[in-house]
Amino acid sequence: MKYRRLGDTGLMVSELCLGCMTFGREADEEDSKKLVARFLEAGGNFLDTADVYTRGVSEEITGRAIKSVRDDVVLATKVRFPMGDGPNDVGLSRKHITRGCEDSLRRLGTDYIDLYQVHCWDAATPLEETLGALTDLVRAGKVRYIGVSNFTAWQIMKSVSLSDALGLERFVCLQPQYSLIERNVEYEILPACLEEGLGVIPWSPLGGGFLSGKYRRGEAPPRGSRISEAEESMEEYWDRRATERNWAVLDVVGEIGEATGKSYAQIALNWLLRQPAVTAPIVGARTLEQLEDNLGAAGWELDEDQVDRISEAGAPEDTYPHRFIRNAQRV
């Protein structure tokens, strides 16, 4: 496993991050610990969880799983979504962030969080308040770096500009949904991250499992898989995944798989690793077999032709003003 700097920081993270969202849900504690042990054995040092994953249980399991190597790992968690029914149990207010951090530290069984991320934009709280609260946590030694997830490009730009203007801590990375079948971040969000030096750690790098190759055109999704159970409000809802455009991407991934001997998941993840803005895809796995497959995405490289062929298969539509601005550079 190789290591990369997270954005413009000096922090080294493994090029694959282990997502802990399945812990306590699809994977029980024993299996989750096996997933963490195998990931660490393969050289991974970067783990991502959130307070809301299985309502705190994922953080508890993750904390116990890394206890003996706590200082060797980069532990990331998040705050924003409801952890109770009260009006202050949600959002990015100073009150909720401060309490959220204390609760996460307790569940994780540690006295610091390496990367504390806001899980999504909160339109109800002034950004100055959120950045001020996060800065205080860093200065109190409870958090090492701060990051953001599910922000638009203007929200990222406004955040880093405010941090710079007010002398507050700056977000060092973004966690967006990004995969071969969800590429809208390429329009505005990834360029903003590159411009401002934020690392990018994609979630659902396999589209919730769609890119693993186990789904087939014209067939119902295998029962028990996450996609087969996803409701319409979820990103991995079957009708959102099983589009002709996405099947065409899978066709190309399959052809390259035959040429390289690599699995669908390995090719989809390796393609992400080749994108200039990307630091480390966050791999999810329900079982050790899936994790083993996904770990095989590192340690080799698609060649440039292969990257181009895959990129073209699901390329986002060429839209204004991006097309106009690109053409203007040639004048």
Ligand X SMILES: NC(=O)c1ccc[n+]([C@@H]2O[C@H](COP(=O)([O-])OP(=O)(O)OC[C@H]3O[C@@H](n4cnc5c(N)ncnc54)[C@H](OP(=O)(O)O)[C@@H]3O)[C@@H](O)[C@H]2O)c1
- Cβ neighbours of 26 (radius 10 Å): 17
Figure out which of the listed residues 6, 13, 16, 21 binds ligand X, where binding follows CB under 6 A: 21
- From the list 53, 116, 145, 178, the catalytic residue is 53
- Cβ closer to ligand X: 4 or 214? 214
Question: Given the rule CB under 6 A, which of 66-74, 95-103, 186-194, 203-211 is the region that contacts ligand X?
Answer: 203-211
Q: What are the residues facing 50 on neighbouring strands?
A: none
Interface size with ligand X, residues (CB under 6 A): 30
- Cβ closer to ligand X: 7 or 284? 284
Figure out which of the listed residues 13, 15, 19, 135 binds ligand X, where binding follows CB under 6 A: 19
- Cβ neighbours of 318 (radius 10 Å): 8
* Residue 24 in the binding site for ligand X (CB under 6 A): no
Fill in the per-residue mask, 266 to 295: x = in contact with ligand X (CB under 6 A), - = not in contact: ----------------xxxxx---x--xx-
Gap between the Cα atoms of 201 and 280, Å rounded: 5
Q: What are the residues facing 13 on neighbouring strands?
A: 4
53 is catalytic: yes
In this structure, the strands spanning 113-118 and 74-79 are parallel
- Cβ closer to ligand X: 164 or 235? 235
Fill in the per-residue mask, 216 to 255: x = in contact with ligand X (CB under 6 A), - = not in contact: ---------xx-----------------------------
Question: Given the rule CB under 6 A, which of 33-41, 207-215, 303-311, 314-322 is the region that contacts ligand X?
Answer: 207-215
Residues of span 72-91 touching ligand X by CB under 6 A: none
Residues of span 118-177 touching ligand X by CB under 6 A: 119, 149-150, 175
Binding residues for ligand X (CB under 6 A): 19-22, 26, 48, 119, 149-150, 175, 203-209, 212, 214, 225-226, 265, 282-286, 290, 293-294
Catalytic residues: 53
